[in-house]
Amino acid sequence: MSAREGTTPAPAPRPHRLGAVRTVLASLALALALVATMMPVIASDTMALGLLAFPLLAAMVLAAVIVLAPYRLCLLRGPRAAGLLAAVSYAMAFVLISLIAAHPGQAGSGFWALVVVAWAIAWLSVEEMAGLKPRQPLWGRAIALAIPLTFGAWLLILWQVLVVGFAVPKVLLPPPSDIWVRLIASPEVLWADFRQTFLKGVLIGYALGCGAGFLVAILVDRVPFLRRGLLPIGNLVSALPIIGVAPIMVMWFGFDWPSKAAVVVIMTFFPMLVNTVTGLAAADRMQLDLMHTYAANYPQTLLKMRLPMAMPFVFNALKINSTLALIGAIVAEFFGTPIVGMGFRISTEVGRMNIDMVWASIAVAALAGSLFYGLVTLAERAVTFWHPSVRR
Amino acid sequence: MTIEALTAPPSRSPFAGLMQGTAGPVLVVVAAIIAVWYLAAVMLNAPFQRDMYKRGGIEDAPLAQLVADTLSQDRPVLPAPHQVAVELWDTTANKAVTSKRSLVYHGGITLSSTLLGFVLGTALGIGLAILVVHSRVLDKSLMPWVISSQTIPILAIAPMIIVVLNAIGISGLLPKAMISTYLSFFPVTVGMVKGLRSPEAIQMDLMKTYSASPAQALWKLRLPSAMPYLFASMKVGVAASLVGAIVGELPTGAVAGLGARLLSGSYYGQTVQIWSALIAAAVLAATLVALIGVAERLALKRMGMRR
Amino acid sequence: MTGPERSVIDIENLSLTFETNDGPVHALSDIDLSIGEGDFVSLIGPSGCGKTTLLRVIADLEAPTGGTISVNGMSPEEARLKRAYGYVFQAAALYPWRTIADNIALPLEIMGFAKGEREERIRRNMELVNLSGFERKYPWQLSGGMQQRASIARALSFDPDLLLMDEPFGALDEIVRDHLNEQLLKLWAKTRKTVVFVTHSIPEAVFLSTRIVVLCPRPGRIYDVIESDLPRERTLDIRETPEFLKIAHRVREGLRAGHSYDD
Ligand SMILES: Nc1ncnc2c1ncn2[C@@H]1O[C@H](COP(=O)(O)OP(=O)(O)OP(=O)(O)O)[C@@H](O)[C@H]1O
Ligand SMILES: [Mg+2]
């Protein structure tokens, strides 16, 4: 519970104990590792190979037991435990992945048992990492990064192992390795799609939509009547499926990027309008009175106080819009494009059952989206460094 | 500016009262939008109309006729509001609900996958948030992904989910509902984690002095304090859910649903049909959000959280 | 007042250091204190000297970094799990979604009291703090003083033998405060509970306590412990007597010495 977290450790060094989760996981991993030595690792109709047929894997299992046993007995702990557990789990994952790549669809019960062992060790390493309280902030930052990365890496590892181990048809779900191969094999196509959709449609539409929303908000703010009339409508429109205007925009502006940019403009306009108007109203009475005592005129009040106060709201809109813009441009391409673009690629390759290409496109889109969002967040940190949610 | 608004002398005009609140200004703005819409319709449709006149040999059609004609084209670039209204009326009131041409029928199809996805997504989001709040490891490893996954254009995988599920024999409501689930579960998770963490330290300390179990603290403190957050994120979630359902109808060649109406409208240049589907979707979204707003008001009032 | 009776809280050589981002904060150091059954002990001292922290250590809301402490002969954690004490926080901390009656029922629900018993206790304790008739109101419909009284009723509802109170009357006006002081004293005399009471007010401390502990800051430690020889049965008039003023004077001296205005 959160109340406990802020406090310092108890006085007398209590005997080191593992929590319930860790005890269960460590015991389970140990038991499974031992049991797996007696189960077939690779099995098909014609053959069954045990652990001893794969010396590298056997060595890994040995290493796992050597780390797990003292860990379970509470002899191994702290940063060393976290590091050793992580190393063993990744090494096991690597060996398991290369093993199953050679025998797709022939995973035996021993194989799956070892997958569970490796996963349990990875979880334990994360438990240990999460419990570390390093003195140096740099280490703290590194751990805060390592934990989600481990989680993401294991998502990919399990995906790879499950898909290859069960020989899932590639048209249903390709393994990450195939997607990676596709990704590095077709950079020209992906780059052309990226340029068409992101650099043209998304960025231009985003700049126009956000800029227009911001300027209109400042105008609207000067006229209380308009503010009262437009704010409820803007709020309503923000909740509507605006994406539906895509076919109309395609009809009006043609198949090429201007129609995508137009969809993005419409989608990003209203969140920016609503947020900026709200932000401009965020200045409280006392601060307005202060500007009043200085006899500041409207532009001075706007520039020196109300716009800076509104910045957190503006950046909120910029962040929301960075996601909306990408969605808008991709979905708009479902309604018609020249033969290039991320949305076009996704919809046509799905039709051709080239699912690995689809995933490669999605990976590019995800990366672009995250980077875009990250850049906006960095800008936010720089501009609104004074705000409590950024300050530390 | 607020100061000017507050210190403005009371005006004597009989309309002053109307213009004070929000209702008056909203009505005026709506009226202005409709006026602009008509103007734009005339301007956008005029070139085509002039072409028609030229081809028909009509030399100098009076302006009034030009305007009237631009507002009653069959496939206008921008249909006039009354054309959309007529189409809406035709396809809702004048058609049997079961007819393939009834907007109610298509809206119902979209609504059902929206609701199914929304309910699943909300349940999933609440469950995940409870786990995250109680597990340090999940909090540190899962939450960064939940948050950064919001930056990923999730809708991009909609067609793939639909087609792939179709390929293994799952079709109809479920694939679309899955996209809606996917879209609505993120806002609910993020909102609920915030909400479950919203009790102040002193209130959590109080629970500790009673040595309450985590389950008791959840039921008696965390969940009630999370209620306002839940409703706020459910409003976002249901809107996202509807978008998911509509986009989910696009890739299958689209036989039924509002998304299908949009798609077939765009194939055949039936702009009036597109616009009426669009308006129907907007009405649906507004209704759903408003319903959650009503539920919110009732629930919070019963809990005494609304004064 | 010490002597034959059983001691409820035993603190020896206790210290607590908070590790913060800009270095350690020595909130408590070298605290020795023993509180007997039925004692009314006030903690008084300048702001930030560690009164709240000491109370939180007793309540197992904070773990000490040195020394030993026992509550009812157990560790604070065991005492908390046995639900040995009621805690009144500096703020009322009522739940806004529960009526006053439901707020008072909260610990009773958690501790598994039967429904009939709950209702009886709610009624009794609301009467005790003079809130009868406000059962169905929500906290935000009550004044600050009424909210604080409700939080006292909540702490009393499960009838703990030990009461830990952190400036419970700090936000109230003088008259209400006097009234509640009298009621608290009556309750204490009637039930023979042990009370640890944090306050900033010298008259309040002297009026209520059998013993006054003066703390001083940086690091937080005990500067003086003053035994009160005032009779257990007291009325507000006692504040005019020379004995009262003598004790108050000594407390003031202690406080003044603890305050350092040089820095
Ligand atoms: N969680 C914490 N982390 C770091 N320092 C803390 C924490 N809690 C208290 N402190 C520090 O410990 C010292 C004592 O704080 P405490 O709240 O006990 O003071 P207090 O005597 O109750 O003051 P007041 O009369 O103002 O309530 C202060 O210097 C405070 O800054
Ligand atoms: Mg305090």
Q: What pLDDT is recorded for position A208? A: 95
Q: What pLDDT is recorded for position A4? A: 39
Interchain contact A334–B (C-beta under 8 A): yes
Q: Quick one: C172 and C214 in the same domain?
A: yes
Structure tokens at C226: 């003053």
Ligand nearest to the CA of C214: 1
Q: Which residue of C has its CA nearest to A5?
A: C62
pLDDT at position C57 over 60: yes
Interface contact flag, C66 A9, Cβ < 8 Å: no
Q: Quick one: C153 and C167 in the same domain?
A: no
Q: Quick one: C209 and C251 in the same domain?
A: yes
Structure tokens at B81: 């509001």
Residue with CA nearest ligand 1 atom 26: C47
Q: How many residues would you count in chain A?
A: 392
Q: Quick one: C257 and C173 in the same domain?
A: yes
- CA separation for the pair B211, B222 (Å, rounded): 15
Is C2 a member of any domain? no
Which positions 52-71 of C are in contact with B (Cβ < 8 Å)? Answer: 56, 59-61
Q: Which of C143, C159, C175 is the endpoint of a domain?
A: C159
CATH number of the domain residue C170 falls in = 3.40.50.300
Q: Quick one: C136 and C209 in the same domain?
A: no
- CA separation for the pair C63, A61 (Å, rounded): 41
Query: Which domains are present in chain A?
Result: 2-168 (no CATH), 182-383 (1.10.3720.10)
pLDDT at position C2 over 60: no
Residue C33: strand, helix, or coil: strand
CA of A79 to the centre of ligand 2 (A): 37
What is the rounded average pLDDT for all residues in chain C?
84
Interchain contact C171–B (C-beta under 8 A): no
How does pLDDT run across C89-143, given as a tens digit for each residue? 888 888 888 889 988 988 888 888 888 888 999 998 898 888 888 888 888 888 8
Q: What pLDDT is recorded for position A10? A: 40
Q: Which atom of ligand 1 is nearest to the CA of C218?
A: 29
Q: Quick one: C237 and C251 in the same domain?
A: yes
Torsion B128-B129-B135-B141 (CA) sign: positive
CA of C18 to the centre of ligand 1 (A): 9
Report which of residues C55 and B97 the model is more confident about: C55
Determine the straight-line distance between the first and last CA of chain A, rounded to whole angstroms: 23
Q: Report the number of distinct structural domains present in chain C.
A: 2
Q: Quick one: C151 and C176 in the same domain?
A: no
pLDDT at position C263 over 50: no
Q: What is the value of ipTM here, to two decimals?
A: 0.76
| Spatial contact of A48 and A108, defined as CB atoms under 8 Å apart | yes
Q: Which residue of A has its CA nearest to C56?
A: A7
Give alpha helix (H) positions in chain A: 2-5, 20-36, 55-72, 78-102, 109-131, 137-165, 176-185, 187-194, 203-222, 224-238, 246-253, 257-280, 285-293, 298-301, 307-333, 342-351, 355-383
Is C1 a member of any domain? no
Identify the segments of chain A with pLDDT beneath 70.
Answer: 1-17, 284-287, 289-295, 386-392
Is C176 a member of any domain? yes
Residues on A contacting C at a C-beta cutoff of 8 Å:
3, 7-11
Interface contact flag, A8 C66, Cβ < 8 Å: no
The 3-state DSSP composition of chain C as helix, strand, coil percent (nearest 5) reads 40, 25, 35
Interchain contact C65–A (C-beta under 8 A): yes
How does pLDDT run across C9-30, given as a tens digit for each residue? 889 888 898 887 777 888 888 8
- CA separation for the pair B175, A322 (Å, rounded): 27
Q: What pLDDT is recorded for position B1? A: 37
Q: What pLDDT is recorded for position A12? A: 42
State the greatest distance between any 2 C-alpha atoms of chain C, in Å, as a whole number. 60
Is C167 a member of any domain? yes
Using an 8 Å CB-CB cutoff, list chain B residues near A172: 164, 167-168
Residue type, B258: L
Q: Quick one: C152 and C169 in the same domain?
A: no
C-alpha distances out from residue B202 to A34, B248, C63, C87, Å? 48, 46, 16, 11
Class of residue A316 by CB neighbours under 10 A (exposed 0-12, middle 13-18, buried 19+): middle
Report which of residues C197 and A172 the model is more confident about: C197
* Digitized pLDDT (tens) for each residue of chain B, 307 residues in all: 334 444 444 445 555 555 667 778 888 888 888 888 888 888 887 777 777 777 777 777 777 777 777 777 777 778 888 888 888 888 877 777 677 778 888 888 889 999 999 999 999 999 999 998 888 888 888 888 877 777 667 777 777 777 777 777 777 788 888 888 988 888 898 889 888 988 888 888 888 888 888 899 999 899 988 888 899 889 888 988 998 888 888 766 557 888 888 888 877 878 888 888 888 888 898 899 899 989 988 888 887 765 5
Q: Quick one: C121 and C215 in the same domain?
A: no
Q: Quick one: C124 and C72 in the same domain?
A: no
Q: Which residues line ligand 1 (CB under 6 A)?
A: A 6; C 18, 20, 25, 27, 47-53, 220
CA of C55 to the centre of ligand 2 (A): 9
Structure tokens at C71: 């509550």
Range of the domain at C101: 92-159
What are the beta bridge partners of residue B79?
A: none
For B247, which of A126, A243, A288 is closest by C-beta distance? A243
Confidence of residue C66 (pLDDT cuts 50, 70, 90): confident
Confidence of residue C223 (pLDDT cuts 50, 70, 90): confident
pTM over cut 0.80: no
Q: Which of C132, C159, C186 is the endpoint of a domain?
A: C159
What are the beta bridge partners of residue C85?
A: C162
Query: Which domains are present in chain B?
Result: 23-58+72-78 (no CATH), 103-302 (1.10.3720.10)
Interface contact flag, C61 B205, Cβ < 8 Å: yes
Which positions 240-259 of B are in contact with A (Cβ < 8 Å)? Answer: 242-243, 246-247, 250-251, 258
Which positions 260-299 of A are in contact with B (Cβ < 8 Å)? Answer: 281, 285, 288, 292, 298
C-alpha distances out from residue A94 to A56, A67, A311, B63, Å? 11, 18, 47, 77
> Of A317, A313, A318, which Cα lies nearest the Cα of A372?
A318
Interface contact flag, C61 A11, Cβ < 8 Å: no
Q: Quick one: C140 and C228 in the same domain?
A: no
Is C168 a member of any domain? yes
Q: Quick one: C106 and C135 in the same domain?
A: yes
CA of C220 to the centre of ligand 2 (A): 12
Q: What pLDDT is recorded for position C198? A: 93
Q: Which of C159, C185, C211 is the endpoint of a domain?
A: C159
- CA separation for the pair C105, C122 (Å, rounded): 7
Interchain contact C64–A (C-beta under 8 A): yes
